Structure 1
Amino acid sequence: MDGVGFSLAIGALKALAFVYDVLTFPIYIILQKPWRLRQLSRSIKGIIVDIEVEQSKEFIIDMKESPNAIKNKYRDPSSVLGKAKAIQEDAKSVTYRSAVQPKEHHITLVREKIDTMAKMFEYCAKKYRNKRCLGTREILAEEDEVQPNGRVFKKFVMGDYKWKTFGEVNELAASFGRGLVSMGNPSGKNVAIFAETRAEWMVAAHGFFKFNIPLVTIYATLGDDAIAHAINETEVSTIITSYELLPKFKKILSLTPRVQTLIYMEDQLKELANLDGYKEGVQIVKFTEVIAKGDDIRDKVTPSVPPTTDDIAIIMYTSGSTGVPKGVILQQKNLIATLKGFCDSTPIYETDVMIGFLPLAHVFELLVESVCLFAGVPIGYSGPLTMTDNSNKIKRGTKGDATVLCPTVLTSVPLILDRISKSIQEKVSKSGSLKKVIFKFAYEYKTAWKRRGYSTPLIDKLIFSPITKLVGGKMRLMIAGGAPLSPDTHEQIGTCLCLRIIQGYGLTESTSCAAVQDLYDMSFGRVGAPCTICDIKLVSWEEGNYRVTDKPYPRGEIILGGDNISAGYYKLPDKTDEDFFDADGKRWFKTGDIAEVHGDGVFKIIDRKKDLVKLQAGEYVSLGKVEAELKTCPLVDNICVYGESSKDFCVALVVPNQQNLKDLAAKIGIVNKSFEELCVNAAIEKAMVQELAEHGKKSKLAKFEIPAAIKLVTEVWSPDMGLVTAAFKLKRKDIQERYKYEINRMYAS
């Protein structure tokens, strides 16, 4: 399409849209009542509860008043929050609390005196006994499939989801717990789970909770040394794993002398026929055999010591973005506190269906799934190899898990959403000129009306419905966590998939709970206000030049306090004392994250202490902030920015998007080169630096923040390489060690 044709097409679409808007506007304004959404979006979500100065504390709000009374008293949000005169010039910290009232499920937890996970699931089993609970997709066969290039891949022929009811899952968990006890694992003795996310994982966890057996969670993507470290430190003798991961123990068992029993979750198609290579004397048992043992002794073994609120529920090993993974001690009360907080902030209903695929060894996924279970929501499990119709293990003509399950709720991490965003951009760029024009117009039209509080049902139906089918066609809510989500990705995914994305902020040390974005918040790039069970204290960090007296918004380090805060790190008393403390009747945790607080009490993460680098000229560079902005460039799949205090510029290691890199090469006249050849081409590197500089300027990065030199990396960083965590956070030290020659070369050049 030439320039004239393009202009005519845009003009015709605008004219058609104008006529449509004039005819339908009165109907939409009556039916959708957009002023309500705008009002909810602007509402106060967090309030100041005290300000600490050098000599004393001044309490600003009487917390005996209800949030509604506070709202009426302070009709102007800035009179309560973020107003310079409300925060004295000598203030050192400001503490914020949720302005939200506890909701139905939170009230139920309190009323029913549910203070442990064992009591929680017993309640669910009684209330939803015959309702679908946990679902597993049936694998009918594995067949060879010839690809267009002649290669042959193994693909699954898939059936329907097979479901266990809440009552059945409760019985299975009880039987599994009894079986463990009968095998020599009494209450109080640690047992580890090292397995992918699946229904059996959740069954095992609730078996542990019933019998007060501390659960040690280990990411399935950790390296052998990190796995052995977690097993040895917690002194476990029994490990639950899966058929797929069992072979890893041929090597790991030689590093873990205390392990006596491996319990494995069976494969649907394959039997374990060969036990060669495993350490002699180690017992290998099927998951179903443990359940059968528990069934046989149903009347003989009962929880002799039911868990109390202060008992250890989980020792959760972090994925280790810095150094050796640490075991975070999570008590029963921590899990229940987060459950209450998430119930208040996460809009999940009994009519929903959740698809579970993030690691259950990640506290974020575990607690969101727990909220779903408490609300009576069925969870169907999936994995990256079978989730969509185009996933690697799905045979042609067979539907992916999302298409079959049609979920309404999904958790995700920003990197996955960035990939979906780039996939959408790539498909649009490859479409014809007319389709590009129509899509661009529809996207801009929808985003313009969304910002005013309106939905666009006709545009959704005509333009975006094919994209929504990527996740089953009925998805209404995505919950993002694990890292900051780019505002551009947030808006694009929400617009194209016709759903709401709410992002939250939390850490393993805070049982994943701290702040969650309000459902009606129409802004992007913010992580929400404090949850109802957690106070957020903002403390000035003088070295980084972040102060709570900053204008227009208070800034500082986030310190979290509440019943969701961990007891500390397992067998690391010095590190526990360094990061945790008790004050004002609360447990507190120093996060190291830097935030600013807006006028409605909503937080925005702007930096991290450990990511801050001071360059030679004295400028501070937030590596995480720069990476988050540059990662939205279509040419970038992943990026790690590096800076040295002895230099006056930054450098970056870039994992480029293969197709977009080839398009860039063609643009500057380089064709018929492989991806690997392009990544070592000096002209391509130069062009990439220019593209990143332009993208950085659009993202309002300062000149000194934009990398002056880059190295294109051909390998995709994945958790099994040890360069990113299971939540896809960069492991900076490992990346810098692996590419130290390239970093030195960039600085030398």
Structure 2
Amino acid sequence: MDGVGFRLAIGALRALAFVYDVLTFPVYVILQRPWRQRQLSRRIKGYIFDVETDRPNDISIDVKGNDITNHFSDPPPPSKIAKAKPVTQDTKSITYRSTSEPNEHHIILVRENLDTMVKMFEYCSKRYPNKRCLGTREILAEEDEVQPNGRVFKKYVMGEYRWKTFAEVNVLAANFGRGLRELGNMPRQNIVIFAETRAEWMIAAHGIFKQNIPLVTIYATLGDEAIAHGINETEVTTVVTSFDLLPKFKRILALTPTVKTIIYMEDQLKTLENTDGYKEGVEIIKFADVLKKGAQSSLVLKKGAQSTLVLKKGAQSTLESCPPTADDPAIIMYTSGSTGVPKGVMLLHKNLIATLKAFCDAADIYETDVMIGFLPLAHVFELMVESVCLLTGVPIGYSGALTMIDSSSKIKKGTKGDASVLHPTCMTSVPVMPSLFWTGYRRAYREKVSKGSNVKKVIFKFAYDYKTKWKRRGYSTPLLDKVVFAPIKQIMGGNMRLVISGGAPLSPETHEQINNCLCVTIIQGYGLTEYVQRVRPRLYPKSYYDQSYGRVGAPVSVCDIKLVSWEEGNYRVTDKPHPRGEVLLGGDNISAGYYKLPEKTGEDFFEADGKRWFRTGGHHRKKDLVKLQAGEYVSLGKVEAQLKTCPLIDNICVYGDSTKNFCVALVVPNQQQLVDLAKKKGIEDKTFEELCIDAEVEKVVVQELADHGKKSKLEKFEIPAAIKLVTEVWSPDMGLVTAAFKLKRKDIQERYKHEINRMYAS
């Protein structure tokens, strides 16, 4: 389609849309009441009252600045808002506390005294005994598929989801816990789960909880040394892993002298033929065999009962079921460790239950929902979202990046991905893990659009702009959603309504794009999962009414927020018009500290006002800021989040030297985008590697980042003045990013210190 034809097509669509607007506008105004939508969207952030004026402010986290911001606004009806109020205030600090009402499942946790994960799941199994609980997609075969270029890839032939009910999962969990006891793992003796997210992971975790055994969680994507560190520090003798990870763990055994037993979750197609190469004296057991051992001892390990069992070494011992209390450790979670070796964060049962209450209050999930689970259960974010689903009777079907959508790499051409079979309504996602969802999804919908005719492309572009305009005014566009965006929505099965994003800020541009194209509501939790963008559709069932982008909402209901002045950074609670400072968190959700690190625990955690508090400054406030020579502060994470929305950038690490007046950046470019950009500038017949060392290409990329940074409203001093194009993709195995794909700044800077020096010298 030439330029004239394009303009004529757009003109015709605009004329048609104008007629449609004139005819339908009164109907939409009456049915949708957009002024109400806009009003609630502005006010939903959560309110406090200014002590001097007694006027209501909203308290919220701004994604772009990572600061708490307050804005005066008129108070909505008290029953319709999520409130927060200052409970203490002086010249150095302000403490805010949520006064929002708990939702029904939060109330159930309190009323039924469900103060441990064991009590919570026992309640679920009794309330929903015959409902679907955990589902696994059946893999029927693996076949060779010849590609157009002649290459051969292995693809799965897949069947339907196979489900276990709540009652069945509870029995399996009990059997697994008892099986561990028979194998000699005693209460309060740590055990590791080192496996991908799957139904067996959740079954094993709840079995471990039932026997008051602390669960050590380690990301499956961590490097060997980091994995060995977590295992050795916790002195575990038993590791639960998967068939796929056995080869990796074979190497790690040489570094973990305490490990005596490996329990592996079986593969649907392959079997373990031999155990050659594993360290002598290590017993390797199938997951199913542990369940069988536990089932055989089911009559003698009832709660409170004592009985004599024959253990694996032939010794007689009296065992007693040992359910945990609220103050017992549930999880030792080894964080991905953006600096140094991973730290073990100790989470008590009461910490998990408090966080579960907060998640229940933050987003409504209904019994009619279906969740697709794929993020690492080794992280508390995914574990808590899935626990909300269990509490509300929502089935969880497990998936992975290789099988999620029809175009995923392991799905045979012409067959369906997991989402197309499961038809989920809700899911979690982490924007900093592009290989898992957002990149795959965006690629899939771009392919759908690009395969259409030029006319279809014009219609899609017009429809997207039209929808964006009316959504910002508070209207929905049901006709467009059904006619234009329905094929895009089908990528995730057609029923998706809610995506909970966490771990890092989702850029406003990506947030709006996915929201509009996928026709879903995206809510964000950011900042150690204690801030969640509020969505309370039960008040107004027809709409999710927080439609803002670029912020992640008010503090959650179980957690006090304290702002403390940070003098060095000129962040003070007395700043006008908005108080600023380091964010401290206090409440029952706060961790017991770091495992075997009393000094570090003392630095970051403290007790005051009858609460346990955590200083967040070392994580995502102070150390994210760099002061340049002229005195300007640059938030590195904020700049990276904005620049990563540029299609040219796959990853980026911004660096600032306090003796210089500008920033530099290490850039992992998108290979195809870089090649296309070079061609536009007349640079051809060069490989990707050659382009990355070409000085002219570097200049072009610097200009592209400058233009994109200006559009993203970055200050001039925040935009990198020099860059180095990096050909290698940063991965956890390289030690340059964490298992959650967060940058390990010190490691990146050490690896590329010569390039950084060169950029500043230039």
> What is the aligned partner in structure 1 of residue 596 from structure 2?
571
Partner amino acid for 2:177?
Answer: G
Task: Spell out, residue by residue over 1:162-181, the C-alpha distance to the aligned partner (whole angstroms, 9 max, x if none).
Answer: 00000000000000000001
Alignment counterpart, residue 479 of structure 2, candidates 458, 478, 495 = 458
Q: What CA distance in whole angstroms lies between the structure 1 residues aligned with 2:76 and 2:476?
A: 30
Runs of 4+ in 1 over 6 A off after TM superposition: 58-61, 72-82
Q: What CA distance in whole angstroms lies between the structure 2 residues aligned with 1:475 and 1:392?
A: 22
Q: What CA distance in whole angstroms lies between the structure 2 residues aligned with 1:362 and 1:619?
A: 35
> What is the aligned partner in structure 1 of residue 375 from structure 2?
358
Q: What CA distance in whole angstroms lies between the structure 1 residues aligned with 2:692 and 2:223?
A: 28
Residue pairs, 1:365-380, within 5 angstroms: 365-380=382-397
Q: What CA distance in whole angstroms lies between the structure 1 residues aligned with 2:194 and 2:176?
A: 16
Q: What CA distance in whole angstroms lies between the structure 2 residues aligned with 1:562 and 1:328?
A: 16
Name whichever of 351-360 and 421-430 sits farther off: 421-430
Structure 1: which 5+ residue stretches go unaligned? 62-69, 595-606
Name the SS for the 2:581 alignment partner: strand
Residue pairs, 1:679-698, within 5 angstroms: 679-698=692-711
Shift, 1:719, TM fit = 2.6
Task: Spell out, residue by residue over 1:87-138, the C-alpha distance to the aligned partner (whole angstroms, 9 max, x if none).
Answer: 99x7322222224201110111111111000000000000110000000000
> What is the aligned partner in structure 2 of residue 560 from structure 1?
585
Answering whether residue 330 of structure 2 is matched by residue 310 of structure 1, we say no
Shift, 1:43, TM fit = 2.8
Q: Would the alpha carbon gap of residues 203 and 59 (structure 1) be closer, same or farther in structure 2, given more than 3 Å must change?
A: farther
Shift, 1:663, TM fit = 1.5
Partner amino acid for 2:405?
Answer: T
Q: Would the alpha carbon gap of residues 195 and 73 (structure 1) be closer, same or farther in structure 2, given more than 3 Å must change?
A: closer
Q: What CA distance in whole angstroms lies between the structure 1 residues aligned with 2:181 and 2:226?
A: 27
Contact 1:74–1:80, Cα closer than 8 Å, also in 2: no
Q: What CA distance in whole angstroms lies between the structure 2 residues aligned with 1:424 and 1:130?
A: 36
Q: Would the alpha carbon gap of residues 271 and 422 (structure 1) be closer, same or farther in structure 2, given more than 3 Å must change?
A: closer
Q: Would the alpha carbon gap of residues 618 and 14 (structure 1) be closer, same or farther in structure 2, given more than 3 Å must change?
A: same
Task: Spell out, residue by residue over 1:28-82, the C-alpha distance to the aligned partner (whole angstroms, 9 max, x if none).
Answer: 223223333223223354344898x9xxxx9999xxxxxxxx9679999999989
Q: What CA distance in whole angstroms lies between the structure 2 residues aligned with 1:391 and 1:75?
A: 45
Contact 1:334–1:566, Cα closer than 8 Å, also in 2: yes
Residue pairs, 1:154-193, within 5 angstroms: 154-193=154-193
Shift, 1:288, TM fit = 0.5
Partner amino acid for 2:417?
Answer: G
Task: Spell out, residue by residue over 1:360-410, the C-alpha distance to the aligned partner (whole angstroms, 9 max, x if none).
Answer: 001100000000010000000001111111111111122111111110101
Q: What CA distance in whole angstroms lies between the structure 1 residues aligned with 2:360 and 2:118?
A: 18
Answering whether residue 415 of structure 2 is matched by residue 395 of structure 1, we say no
Residue pairs, 1:472-621, within 5 angstroms: 472-507=493-528, 512-518=529-535, 519-592=544-617, 608-621=621-634
Shift, 1:26, TM fit = 2.2
> What is the aligned partner in structure 2 of residue 599 from structure 1?
none
Task: Spell out, residue by residue over 1:243-286, the C-alpha distance to the aligned partner (whole angstroms, 9 max, x if none).
Answer: 01111222211111111100000000001012111000000000
Alignment counterpart, residue 639 of structure 1, candidates 640, 652, 657 = 652
Identity %: 73
> What is the aligned partner in structure 2 of residue 112 from structure 1?
112
Partner amino acid for 1:411?
Answer: T
Contact 1:611–1:623, Cα closer than 8 Å, also in 2: yes
Task: Spell out, residue by residue over 1:440-483, the C-alpha distance to the aligned partner (whole angstroms, 9 max, x if none).
Answer: 22112111111222110111122211211221111100000001
Q: What CA distance in whole angstroms lies between the structure 2 residues aligned with 1:688 and 1:652?
A: 11
Q: Would the alpha carbon gap of residues 145 and 168 (structure 1) be closer, same or farther in structure 2, given more than 3 Å must change?
A: same
Q: What CA distance in whole angstroms lies between the structure 2 residues aligned with 1:463 and 1:718?
A: 37
Task: Spell out, residue by residue over 1:531-560, the C-alpha distance to the aligned partner (whole angstroms, 9 max, x if none).
Answer: 111111122222222222333322221111
Partner amino acid for 1:43?
Answer: R
Shift, 1:661, TM fit = 1.3
Partner amino acid for 2:491?
Answer: L
Task: Spell out, residue by residue over 1:618-663, the C-alpha distance to the aligned partner (whole angstroms, 9 max, x if none).
Answer: 2221111110110111111111111112222211111111221121
Residue pairs, 1:90-109, within 5 angstroms: 91-109=91-109
Q: What CA distance in whole angstroms lies between the structure 1 residues aligned with 2:85 and 2:301?
A: 56
Contact 1:421–1:492, Cα closer than 8 Å, also in 2: no
Contact 1:486–1:628, Cα closer than 8 Å, also in 2: yes
Q: Would the alpha carbon gap of residues 397 and 196 (structure 1) be closer, same or farther in structure 2, given more than 3 Å must change?
A: same
Q: What CA distance in whole angstroms lies between the structure 1 residues aligned with 2:596 and 2:124?
A: 34
Residue pairs, 1:284-433, within 5 angstroms: 284-303=284-303, 304-415=321-432, 416=434, 419=439, 423=443, 427=447, 433=454
Partner amino acid for 2:653?
Answer: C
Q: What CA distance in whole angstroms lies between the structure 2 residues aligned with 1:116 and 1:213?
A: 13
Q: What CA distance in whole angstroms lies between the structure 1 residues aligned with 2:347 and 2:714?
A: 39
Partner amino acid for 2:575?
Answer: D
Shift, 1:414, TM fit = 1.3
Shift, 1:421, TM fit = 7.2
Q: What CA distance in whole angstroms lies between the structure 2 residues aligned with 1:425 and 1:649?
A: 38
Name whichever of 736-745 and 415-424 sits farther off: 415-424
Alignment counterpart, residue 448 of structure 1, candidates 448, 469, 472 = 469
Shift, 1:429, TM fit = 6.8
Q: What CA distance in whole angstroms lies between the structure 1 residues aligned with 2:82 and 2:209?
A: 45
Q: Would the alpha carbon gap of residues 669 and 148 (structure 1) be closer, same or farther in structure 2, given more than 3 Å must change?
A: same
Q: What CA distance in whole angstroms lies between the structure 1 residues aligned with 2:751 and 2:190?
A: 35
Contact 1:516–1:531, Cα closer than 8 Å, also in 2: no
Contact 2:82–2:101, Cα closer than 8 Å, also in 1: no
Name the SS for the 2:175 alignment partner: helix
Q: Would the alpha carbon gap of residues 517 and 485 (structure 1) be closer, same or farther in structure 2, given more than 3 Å must change?
A: farther
Q: What CA distance in whole angstroms lies between the structure 2 residues aligned with 1:748 and 1:298?
A: 70
Shift, 1:431, TM fit = 6.1
Partner amino acid for 2:630?
Answer: A
Answering whether residue 665 of structure 2 is matched by residue 652 of structure 1, we say yes
Name the SS for the 1:290 alignment partner: helix
Partner amino acid for 1:534?
Answer: C
Name whichever of 719-728 and 183-192 sits farther off: 719-728
Shift, 1:737, TM fit = 2.1
Contact 1:558–1:593, Cα closer than 8 Å, also in 2: no
Partner amino acid for 1:679?
Answer: C
Structure 2: which 5+ residue stretches go unaligned? 57-73, 304-320, 536-543
Q: What's the RMSD between the two structures over aligned residues?
A: 2.6
Task: Spell out, residue by residue over 1:140-193, the C-alpha distance to the aligned partner (whole angstroms, 9 max, x if none).
Answer: 001111111111111111111000000000000000000001111111110000
The total of aligned residue pairs comes to 716
Contact 1:331–1:567, Cα closer than 8 Å, also in 2: yes
Answering whether residue 259 of structure 2 is matched by residue 239 of structure 1, we say no
> What is the aligned partner in structure 2 of residue 147 from structure 1?
147
> What is the aligned partner in structure 2 of residue 265 from structure 1?
265
> What is the aligned partner in structure 1 of residue 490 from structure 2?
469
Q: What CA distance in whole angstroms lies between the structure 1 residues aligned with 2:600 and 2:104?
A: 38
Q: What CA distance in whole angstroms lies between the structure 2 residues aligned with 1:77 and 1:145?
A: 55
Answering whether residue 672 of structure 2 is matched by residue 663 of structure 1, we say no
Q: What CA distance in whole angstroms lies between the structure 2 residues aligned with 1:74 and 1:351?
A: 30
Q: What CA distance in whole angstroms lies between the structure 1 residues aligned with 2:564 and 2:124?
A: 40
Name whichever of 542-551 and 527-536 sits farther off: 542-551
Q: Would the alpha carbon gap of residues 87 and 199 (structure 1) be closer, same or farther in structure 2, given more than 3 Å must change?
A: closer
